[in-house]
Amino acid sequence: MYNDKEASKIVDIIKNFARKHSLWIVAYGTGCGAIELPPTMTSRYDAERFGIRGSATPRQADVLLITGYLSVKTLKRVIRTYEQMQEPKYVIGFGSCTINGGMYWDSYNTIKALDRYLPVDVYINGCMPRPEAVISGFIKLQELIAQGKADGAKRYQENLEWYRENQRKVIKNWRMPEYNW
């Protein structure tokens, strides 16, 4: 009755439905935005009702939350963390400084545009974004997942050369293991 293409479409819909209700965040507070995560997670805003919760290691996580500016030293660790994560994986840029540098636009140690270095699925603006904004960002991500549009990991694989070139431009001493997907 169904051909293969249609069958895989149905499987995708079921897969995406399951994925969007279980978004585990890597416990990596990369910037000052990490201070708004405890309120988001705990009793008042209770993000767990959307299936959002923390996870200790990158291997078990789905979402890498970049909470604010990234210094060059952190960027290196973030890239490693991201590459260790298993698919499905999504990146959320959190705060103005991931979008255009924010108030650190002239600093010598922070990167200005996160999507040059990692594939960003959703940006949340504000300095700093309120817990409601964080949750709304996650809901946006859930919508994208349901529509099958949150394809950051795929973009990263396809354009790896371009991302690597940008990353190497900033990280001068590249001593990183190469992961194969």
Partner 1 sequence: MDKDFINENKTIEEIKNTFHSAEAKLQRKNRIIVKLRSDLIPPFLSYAKNYLSFDHLAHFSCVDWIEDNQFELVYILYSYEKNIIAIVKTRIDREKAEFVTVKHLWRQAETFEREFHEMYGINFTGNNRLTEFILEDWDDIPPMRRDFDTMQYSKENFYTRPGREDAQDVREVITKKSGEKIPDFAKEFSVRKLK
Partner 2 sequence: MREKETTLYFGPQHPGITGNMMVKLKVAGDTIVKAETHVGYLHRAFEKLMERRTWMQSFPIVCRICVPEPDPNEENLARAVEEIEGREVPERAKYIRVMVLELSRLAAYFLWMGGQSGTAGLYTVPQWSVGDRDYILDLFEELTGGRIYHMYIWAGGVRRDLPEGFADKVLKTMDYIESRLPEYDKLMFDNAIFQKRAQGIGVIDKDKALEWGVVGPPLRGCGIKHDVRKDEPYEVYDKLDFVVPTYEGGDIWARAMVRRKEMEQSISIIRQVIEKMPGGEYYNKVPTPLNWFVPPGEAYVKTESARGEFGYYVVSDGSLKPRRVHVRGPAYVHGVSLLENILVGANISDVAMIMNSLGVCPPEIER
- DSSP for residue 47: G
Contacted by 146, from partner 2, partner 1, none: CB < 5 to 8 Å by type: none
Supply angle C-alpha 121, 126, 129, rounded to 5: 80
φ, ψ at 174 (rounded to 5°): -90, 95
101 binds partner 2 (CB under 8 A): no
36 binds partner 2 (CB under 8 A): yes
Write out the residues near partner 1 by the rule CB under 8 A: 72-73, 76, 99-101, 105-113, 116, 166, 169-173
Give the amino acid at 37.
L
Rounded to whole angstroms, the Cα distance separating 132 from 44 reads 11
Residue 104 or 156: the one with the smaller Cβ distance to partner 1 is: 104
Task: Name residues whose C-beta falls within 8 Å of residue 141's C-beta, 6 or more positions apart in sequence.
Answer: 20, 23, 63, 90, 92, 121, 122, 150
112 binds partner 2 (CB under 8 A): no
Stretch that binds partner 2, among 65-73, 113-121, 137-145, 163-171 (CB under 8 A): 65-73
Stretch that binds partner 2, among 11-19, 42-50, 156-164, 170-178 (CB under 8 A): 42-50
Closest by Cα among 61, 91, 68 to 163? 91
Residue 135 burial (CB count, 10 A): 19
- 3-state SS class at 179: coil
Contacted by 160, from partner 1, partner 2, none: CB < 5 to 8 Å by type: none
Applying CB under 8 A, the residues found at the interface with partner 2 are 26-32, 34-36, 38-39, 42-44, 54, 56, 58, 69, 71, 73-74, 77, 81, 103-104, 106-110, 127-128, 130
